[in-house]
Amino acid sequence: MSGFDQTLLDDADETVRVQLTVNGRRVACEVAPRETLVDCLRNELELTGTHAGCEMGACGACLVQLDGRAVHSCLMFAVQADGATINTIEGLSETGVIADLQAEFHRRNALQCGFCTPGMLVNAHELLSQVAQPSREEIRDALSGNYCRCTGYEAIVDAIEAVAQARDQGGGTK
Amino acid sequence: MKARAFSYFRAATIDQALDAHARAGDDARFIAGGQSLVPALSLRLQAPRLLIDITHIDELRGVRRDGGYLRIGALTRHCEMLSEPLIAEFAPLLHAAAPFVAHPAIRNRGTFGGSVALADPASEFPAMTLALDAEIEIAGPSGSCRVKADDFFLDLFETALQPGELITAVYVPLFKADQRFAFDELARRRGDYALVGCGMLATFTGERVDDIRISFFSVGNTPTRVKGAEATLIGSSLEAERIAAAQAALEGDLAPPDSDEVPPAMRLHLARVLLGRMLGRLGEGA
Ligand SMILES: Cc1cc2nc3c(=O)[nH]c(=O)nc-3n(C[C@H](O)[C@H](O)[C@H](O)COP(=O)(O)OP(=O)(O)OC[C@H]3O[C@@H](n4cnc5c(N)ncnc54)[C@H](O)[C@@H]3O)c2cc1C
Ligand code: FES
Ligand code: FES
């Protein structure tokens, strides 16, 4: 991927080989440069927990962790992620780091159809790893880029707040 | 929707990036955070044949003191505006503006240089470079130069940047002990673009304003300094009548565009309300 080559301009449809560490596993895939990361995760790697909603950065359904930070996988091309470490909702679930968040979402009906839930969880996970005891205001602010068409958010904020308190008292799975 | 097919080149140095752009002519775009460019490509508002990824260029990274300035590398991400101690200390106006820029995940990728290069009139950071009297460092095929923010923003999405030129850094004069700043915006919903927003930086002797720069965003085709309002405040101690005079002066300083959603008169009213609030806070030492 280094060293400029004039021929790059002449064959815009060629595919590029990208190497990623996804959910702890090293993977390689061939992608066209125009393929977004969310499409690569879903179509090439069959990790369909990451959802594509607006594909414009507005709804948050596509959030993943890239090198440890939450990003919209619809707002980057897979080629840009070459060499990066990505955690999707599948990886975060498998390792158990968000088990308490998932349980609390379930307990409080913080989801109905579940379309927005992976993004909500990725976002909540990042928030709680940066701010141990966020206020409700801070939780709302962090979720301001995540749309949910079902629940009305109150239960989601409740769930995240409850997990923050439980973790603070040593009761979380963290 | 999906972007039209393009080629991708990851540049390792500024020279490589400039060279690639020169060879591709108008058919190339630099990509930094991609938080504005990727949606534009997906909507096919733009369809370049080559994307030049500048995010692996080390020369564009880093925040450091340089003489009387803070040099903020173009690739400094919006989230770093919040976490970088040098910015909190020496460019507190940028630190104050950062939480208003989009949502956390977008702040994790969007870059300061990208925001200034795009020059969206509704964006926070371009307007703040005006309030701060910052200088924009530009590298092009014929070398490097620094342009004052006052001379950088020309028209809607139009800047002094020529196609194929890169913003390498922004130089912000170091914040001083006799200065005060304020930032605020009115938006319908947290994280949305502002209906009206404003940042200001003033230098005081005691309670007297020696110098003040006030910049609005979301009120015209470019970020806008309100020089009439500034002039009414110089030499004042931000007394109520001087603040009222500054609010009145906005009529001549701002020409909000016509829009169905927010009529110009309403935007001007909101600008006056915001200015009054912020000058009040500045008087209290904010
Ligand atoms: C849902 C959503 C909400 C948003 N809300 C806000 C908001 O409230 N306020 C706000 O300010 N922004 C907002 N943004 C935009 C976001 O902040 C972008 O990060 C920013 O405008 C552009 O920075 P970028 O690094 O992502 O640039 P890119 O998208 O990579 O590039 C933008 C343009 O600048 C050019 N460019 C990039 N870097 C350079 C450089 N160093 N030199 C020369 N040219 C360069 C590119 O070629 C391109 O034309 C929002 C975006 C989204 C998707
Ligand atoms: S699909 Fe990425 S934000 Fe909506
Ligand atoms: S649970 Fe259906 S969109 Fe949120």
Please give the number of the atom of ligand 3 that sits closest to the Cα of A120: 4
Give yes or no for residue A117 having a pLDDT over 80: yes
A58 vs A146: CA distance, rounded Å: 7
Residue A38's identity, in one-letter code, is V
Structural element, H or E, at residue A119: helix A117-130
B151 vs B168: CA distance, rounded Å: 17
| Closest of B178, B132, B126 to residue B155, by C-alpha | B126
3-class secondary-structure state, position B140: strand
Cα–Cα distances (Å) from B226 to A155, B73, B249, B255, B271, in that order, read 45, 28, 8, 11, 11
Q: Which residues of A99-137 are buried (b: 16+ CB within 10 A; e: fewer)?
A: ebbbebbeebebbeeebbbbbbbbbbbbbbeeeeebeee
pLDDT at A10: 52
B108 vs B243: CA distance, rounded Å: 38
- Pocket around ligand 1: residues whose beta carbon is below 6 Å from it? A 57-58; B 29-37, 39, 74, 101-102, 106, 110-111, 113-115, 117-118, 120, 123-125, 161, 166-167, 193
Give residue A86 CA to ligand 3 midpoint distance, Å.
Answer: 24
Residue B46's CB: how many other CB atoms inside 10 A? 14
B253 vs B275: CA distance, rounded Å: 13
Please give the number of the atom of ligand 2 that sits closest to the Cα of A75: 2
3-class secondary-structure state, position B70: strand
For chain A, give the mean pLDDT: 91
pLDDT at A11: 47
Cα–Cα distances (Å) from B266 to B114, B261, B271, B272, in that order, read 30, 10, 9, 10
B63 vs B172: CA distance, rounded Å: 11
Copy the structure tokens of residue B266: 């309403």
Number of H helices, E strands in chain B: 11, 14
Average pLDDT over residues B144-169: 97
Q: pLDDT (tens digit, 9 = 90+) per residue, B70-90?
A: 999 999 999 999 999 999 999
Cβ atoms of A126 and A66 closer than 8 Å: no
Q: What is the DSSP letter of B3?
A: P
For chain B, give the mean pLDDT: 96
Shortest distance, CA B25 to any CA of chain A (angstroms): 11
Give residue B101 CA to ligand 2 midpoint distance, Å.
Answer: 17
- Determine whether the interchain pair A71/B108 forms a contact, defined as Cβ–Cβ distance below 8 Å: yes
pLDDT at A8: 52
Q: pLDDT (tens digit, 9 = 90+) per residue, A124-169?
A: 999 999 999 999 999 999 999 999 999 889 999 999 999 999 998 8
Q: Which of A42, A55, A66, when mutated, tests ligand 2's pocket best, judged by the most ligand atoms within 8 Å of its CB?
A: A55
Closest Cα in chain B to A52:
B1
Residue with tokens 């968000």: A98
B198 vs B193: CA distance, rounded Å: 12
Q: Which of B5, B19, B106 comes nearest A145 by C-beta? A: B106
B14 vs B58: CA distance, rounded Å: 9
Under the banding of pLDDT at 50, 70 and 90, the label for residue A9 is low
A150 vs B255: CA distance, rounded Å: 41
Give residue B251 CA to ligand 1 midpoint distance, Å.
Answer: 30
pLDDT at B164: 96
- Determine whether the interchain pair B34/A127 forms a contact, defined as Cβ–Cβ distance below 8 Å: no
Using the Cβ of B284 and the Cβ atoms of chain A, whether some distance falls under 8 Å is answered with: no
Copy the structure tokens of residue B17: 């990036």
Q: Counting ligands in written order, which one lies closest to the CA of residue B189?
A: 1
B32 vs B73: CA distance, rounded Å: 12
pLDDT at A129: 94
Q: Counting ligands in written order, which one lies closest to the CA of residue A147?
A: 3
Using the Cβ of B53 and the Cβ atoms of chain A, whether some distance falls under 8 Å is answered with: yes
Under the banding of pLDDT at 50, 70 and 90, the label for residue A14 is confident
pLDDT at B190: 74
Q: Which of B9, B31, B35, B124, when mutated, tests ligand 1's pocket best, judged by the most ligand atoms within 8 Å of its CB?
A: B35
pLDDT at A21: 98
Closest Cα in chain B to A146:
B103
| Closest of B261, B279, B103 to residue B195, by C-alpha | B261
Give yes or no for residue A2 having a pLDDT over 90: no
Q: What is the DSSP string of B77-134?
A: BHHHHHH-HHHHHH-HHHHHHGGGSS-HHHHTT-BHHHHHHHT-TT-HHHHHHHHTT-
Average pLDDT over residues B33-50: 96
pLDDT at B156: 96
Average pLDDT over residues A68-88: 98
Q: pLDDT (tens digit, 9 = 90+) per residue, B190-226?
A: 778 899 999 999 999 999 999 999 999 999 999 999 9
Would the CB of A115 count as within 6 Å of ligand 3?
A: yes
- The fraction of chain B above a pLDDT of 70, given in percent, is 100
A49 vs A42: CA distance, rounded Å: 8
Distance from the Cα of residue B127 to its chain's centroid: 4
Average pLDDT over residues A8-25: 80
- Determine whether the interchain pair A9/B42 forms a contact, defined as Cβ–Cβ distance below 8 Å: no
What contacts B108, CB < 8 A, 6 or more positions away?
A: A69, A70, A71, B77, B78, B79
Residue A33 with chain B: CB contacts under 8 Å:
5-8, 51
Would the CB of A147 count as within 6 Å of ligand 3?
A: no
Would the CB of A134 count as within 6 Å of ligand 2?
A: no
- Determine whether the interchain pair A77/B38 forms a contact, defined as Cβ–Cβ distance below 8 Å: yes
End-to-end CA distance of chain A: 38
Copy the structure tokens of residue B206: 């005691």
CA angle B91-B95-B100, nearest 5°?
140
Q: pLDDT (tens digit, 9 = 90+) per residue, B225-262?
A: 999 999 999 999 999 999 999 999 999 999 998 887 88
